[in-house]
Structure 1
Amino acid sequence: MSCVVTFFLLLVLIILLIVICAVFSSVMTRFQYIVFLMDRRNLDIAVLLLTVFVAIGFLSILFEFVLWCAAYVNMCCFHMVIITRLIVMFACIGLFAGYIVSMNKLVDRTQLEKNLVFTLKNLYFGEYNTDPFSANWNAIQVEYKSCGVHGPGDYSDSVWHKNNKPFKAPLTCCKEIEKYYDSTDEAFSSSPPKVYKKLTVTYKVDYIQKCNNLTLQANKDTSPIKPQGSLGPVQDDLKRNLAHNGGMIALMILILILQFLILVVTIAVCCSVKREQHDREEMRRLLYGKDKK
């Protein structure tokens, strides 16, 4: 019965490991255009830790299955299963902690602000450009209904403003611009190849003229320019759905609990087998002892 429970738990563990890969892939696809503008070092560390977390889980299952098959032949195999499971558990706890720390660093406000300001001021070239930095900034401003990092004033000393005087902000800073933009995926040449979010404009001349004739001195209530910066909404969204993603954290904790349950069942089976072996040896000793008399 204990063997059935153990193999059931291992099957559940396999399913959870597959699910966590799918969930993380979905989350990364959702935020790929924001992540492109950030310092990727902490994200790369988090991805590496999660990859090792999943790989260790799969390898431990394979190793444990082989040892379980040999366990009833050689009692040492049970001891190896227990030792392996302990090592895996502590390793996974460490990897889980490292993943959480790396994700928290990824959404640190100071670092995020620094990266967003740099890319906006130096690498943004306009609403019609299809380079990754411009396209991803357009996507952010449309999706979060924001303008710049802290507000429209961020464009005043940007490369974009120098090339587009006297305009104060790009079209993607205009309110209701999402009505005139269609979101599509487009592959850009890079090494390695990546897919970035691209926004293609649907021309509506009167709206564009109205937006281009804006002045930042206009009243916020009547100005078609969005007054809100991107930093706050982006950081909140990253915290809630990437760094502190409830689904990811819950899955990782469930995997750790399963690792512990498998360890407990394995120890119970090991004790049971040892007891059975001891009882057989006792019976054999008693029988042989009687024969000798």
Structure 2
Amino acid sequence: MMIAAIALCAAVLWMQADLFNEHEYTLIIVNRNPIDLANALLIAIVSVTCISFLVEIALWLSNCVDDCCFQFAILFRFVFILVTAILVIIFNVQLSAFANKEEMKDSMYSSLQRYQGEFLTNPDSMAWNLVQMKYEVCGVNGPGDYTKTPWYKFRTVDYKVVPFTCCIGIVDVYHIDLPRYGAWPEKVYPLVRLNPNSDRIINQCYNMQDPMNPKKRKVMEKGALNPVYDDLTSDYTHNFPLIVLVVFILVCQIAVLIISIAACVTHRKAAKIVAAEMTRQEIEERNRRRQK
């Protein structure tokens, strides 16, 4: 049971870490407070489960099998089930809060205001460049969002109305590497590079931008809000294996509680039989002594 519990907890943590790594930069531009809290709660659920199993095994190995020990084990398990259930409820509430589209939109607009350019490696700039290429989008609701940003106000050339990470085909010539260094926690040092033939695509993108004729644009017209919202909420709030694993942890806790109660009842019955047998033997011994 203990090995299964540890394997289960490791699977949950691996799945949570895998989800976070997949959306590491995407999460920068959205409201991360609920998802950060949900991740912390998930770790707490796993920790509570591991600790409870370890303590219970220590109880059984201590050769303490009297009624007090059984009562403590049952109370201990009940408290841990209650704590786990509360954590699971809060975990799901936080994931539901994460799926608030209006809050996500506000967070994305706020992040876009901190965008500084295609070659800068501050978190918001990196996140937007990666998101725009990954989802083939531009801005929150569309390219026009950049006209309301400090980046647009201080851009170096007038024809550059959007970053070139919004250009169609830019994914073939613009690359962001995310090498990781050091032991945990690893540090990431982003590296931006352009292919030699990038000028052709970038110049074509900007030269064909015509405010009077949007059809000639070589810019991605779709905004990031809907694709990012659908992707993140699908992975985090509708992730069936993750929810099943968390619920299974709770079921394991309840199963062990039932086993503990059954063991306690069996022990009490055995203790009564032993006590009755000892009483019978004592009575027989007394009768023998009287007969002598």
**For 1:201-216, what aligned pairs fall within 5 Å after superposition?**
201-204=194-197, 205-213=199-207, 214-216=209-211
CA distance, structure 2, for counterparts of residue 260 and residue 271 of structure 1: 17
Deviation at 1:95, TM superposition (A): 0.3
Q: Secondary structure at the match of 2:57?
A: helix
Structure 1 window deviating more from structure 2 (58-67 vs 145-154): it is: 58-67
1:38/1:112 contact within 8 Å kept: yes
Task: Give the % identical residues.
Answer: 27
Aligned residues: 280
1:197 deviates by 6.0
8 Å Cα contact 1:71-1:77 kept in structure 2: no
CA shift at 1:114, angstroms?
0.7
Q: Cα–Cα, structure 1 residues 248 and 224, in superposed 2: closer, same or farther, change >3 Å?
A: same
Residues in 1 aligned to 2:238 and 2:187: alpha-carbon distance in whole angstroms: 25
What is the letter of the counterpart of residue 171 of structure 1?
Answer: F
User: What is the aligned partner in structure 2 of residue 55 from structure 1?
Assistant: 47
TM score, norm. by length of structure 2: 0.88
What's the counterpart of residue 150 of structure 1? 141
Once residues 54 and 186 of structure 2 are traced to their aligned partners in structure 1, the CA distance between those partners, rounded to angstroms, is 34
Q: How does 1:1-293 map to 2 (within 5 A)?
A: 9-70=1-62, 72-120=64-112, 122-164=113-155, 165-186=158-179, 194-195=187-188, 199-204=192-197, 205-213=199-207, 214-220=209-215, 223-293=217-287
Deviations 1:136-194 (A, max 9, x none): 10000000111100011111222222223222211111122222222410579xxx985
Moved more, 54-63 or 35-44: 35-44
For residues 138 and 24 of structure 1, what CA distance do their matches in structure 2 show?
25
Q: Which moved more, 1:124-133 or 1:83-92?
A: 124-133
Cα RMSD, aligned residues only: 2.2
Whole-Å separation in 1 of the counterparts to 2:48 and 2:273: 37
Secondary structure, aligned partner of 2:25: helix
* Separation in structure 1 between the aligned mates of residue 131 and residue 111 of structure 2, nearest angstrom: 13
Matched residues in 2 for 1:255 and 1:198: separation? 41
| Counterpart-to-counterpart distance in 2, 1:198 and 1:152 | 25
Separation of aligned partners in 2, 1:197 and 1:33:
11
TM-aligned CA distance change 1:73 to 1:269, over 3 Å:
closer
The aligned amino acid for 1:134 is: S
1:199 CA displacement = 4.7
Partner of 1:6: none
Which entry has the higher C-alpha Rg, 1 or 2? 2
Query: How far apart, in 2, do the equivalents of 1:217 and 1:242 lie?
Result: 41
